Structure 1
Amino acid sequence: MASRWTIEMVDRSFRDILDIDEPFGGKVMVFGGDIRHVLPVIPKSTRDKTVNTSLVKSYLWQRMEKIKITRNMRARTDTSFSEFLLRIGNGEEPTIRDDLVLLPRQLVIETTSDSTGSDALIEFPGETRTFLSFDSAEDDTNNYYQEDYLNTLTRNSLPPHRLVLKKNVAIMLLRNLDASNGLCNGTRMICRGFDKNVIHAEIMMGQNAFKHMFIPRIQLSPSENEGSEDTQLL
């Protein structure tokens, strides 16, 4: 996801510091990721600008040795899904308007609303507990943004205003809180309990698997390019 301009700046710096006119001053550099799936994130950019910012458009790309992983370990027990992902990545899957991929029917959960997660939670045994956020907008001296309105906004990087939980349901962390103890963006956990301002969670996998953590009520804000609302959420 790194911009080619950033990588090229590092390349020029290494060449200058080491006084060697070779990529990165002759040092071996290792890059990881799938260029077909993950592009640089450029707010309010066009498709052409986003592609042009990616590493494949850099003068360094032709000098790099490409090492490919040949087996999809996440989908190794489902070969049809694994092949479907590869066809999308290779640009071989048929598309409809605006280059949209038509999902196979077996991957679609039919619903009349966006409440699939809520429906699954209802089927889960146990009593629910609802946590509400306290939303406010920075520098809103005239009180233009009422809390009721702010409660309706759902940012990609923030939890919803109403967070409904049950014991033993799977949850995912959205922010880096304590990397040394496994609390990172994307960490999957099991909710083992909760109180008014804290969630008791157990990490599901990785080197910190089975570790019990307590996640407090904290203040979160969206990134600058998403707006200026300051949101306190659990």
Structure 2
Amino acid sequence: MDRYFRDICHPINPDSMDIPFGGKVIVFGGDFRQVLKVVTHGKREDIVNATLNSSYLWDYVTVLKLRKNMRLSKVPSGPSIEENEKELEDIRSFSQWLLDIGDGNVNPTDDGISDIQMPEDVLITDVNDPIGSIISCIYPNYLLNLGNPT
């Protein structure tokens, strides 16, 4: 992509051949801890060397980190203040646990492979219908509202 942008921008700006991406601002999205390149028959070091962080372009990258998990920042819906506070604390705790896993702070090892204990409340325990269990957890009233257009 870098070479393509340099070539495309060259007629407009002759200096673009010396500027990453021809001087265009590029936004890379995602969690680099989770998005790895596929290297056929590659060893761990081959995969690491194929990542953006190992690229010659990395020196030109400005990393912006999101600090708040927006998917977990919902307003609790419990009927009492105590239940709301308990739900808020559960959300904060789960959010921190996710960040700790992503940062490699949960059972870290030298080889980069860790055993992670999953909380019981996130496990699917219905072995007979796991897909149905996921659907009913995410969309609790799905079947009740299946024919309702609103």
Superposition TM-score, scaled by structure 2 size: 0.62
- Identify if the C-alpha distance between structure 1 residues 71 and 60 changes in structure 2 by more than 3 Å, giving closer, same or farther: same
Distance 1:52 1:101 in 2: 25
Indicate whether 1:103 and 2:117 are aligned: yes
Q: 1:34 Cα shift?
A: 0.9
Indicate whether 1:87 and 2:109 are aligned: no
Taking the TM superposition and a 5 Å limit, the aligned residue runs for 1:25-36 are 25-36=22-33
Which secondary structure state, in structure 1, belongs to the residue aligned with residue 70 of structure 2? coil
Letter in 1 for 2:135: A
Structure 2 unaligned segments of length 5 or more: list them. Answer: 11-15, 74-87
Do the aligned partners of 2:106 and 2:114 also contact (CA within 8 Å) in 1? no
Partner in structure 2 of residue 58 of structure 1: 55
Deviates more, 1:63-72 or 1:91-100: 91-100
Q: 68, 71, 74: which is aligned to 1:74?
A: 71
- Identify if the C-alpha distance between structure 1 residues 107 and 25 changes in structure 2 by more than 3 Å, giving closer, same or farther: same
Partner in structure 2 of residue 170 of structure 1: 135
Partner in structure 1 of residue 39 of structure 2: 42
Q: 1:97 Cα shift?
A: 8.7
Distance 1:65 1:47 in 2: 26
Structure 1 unaligned segments of length 5 or more: list them. Answer: 1-9, 110-114, 122-163, 172-187, 193-200, 203-209, 212-234
- Identify if the C-alpha distance between structure 1 residues 74 and 61 changes in structure 2 by more than 3 Å, giving closer, same or farther: same
Distance 2:44 2:94 in 1: 27
Q: 9, 19, 24: which is aligned to 1:18?
A: 9
Do the aligned partners of 1:96 and 1:102 also contact (CA within 8 Å) in 2? no
The percent of aligned pairs where both chains have the same amino acid is: 37
Distance 1:108 1:30 in 2: 33
Letter in 1 for 2:48: V
Higher helix share: 2
Q: 1:58 Cα shift?
A: 0.8
Taking the TM superposition and a 5 Å limit, the aligned residue runs for 1:170-189 are 170=135
Which secondary structure state, in structure 1, belongs to the residue aligned with residue 117 of structure 2? coil
Number of residue equivalences: 124
Distance 1:55 1:86 in 2: 21
Q: 1:118 Cα shift?
A: 3.4
Distance 2:110 2:120 in 1: 21
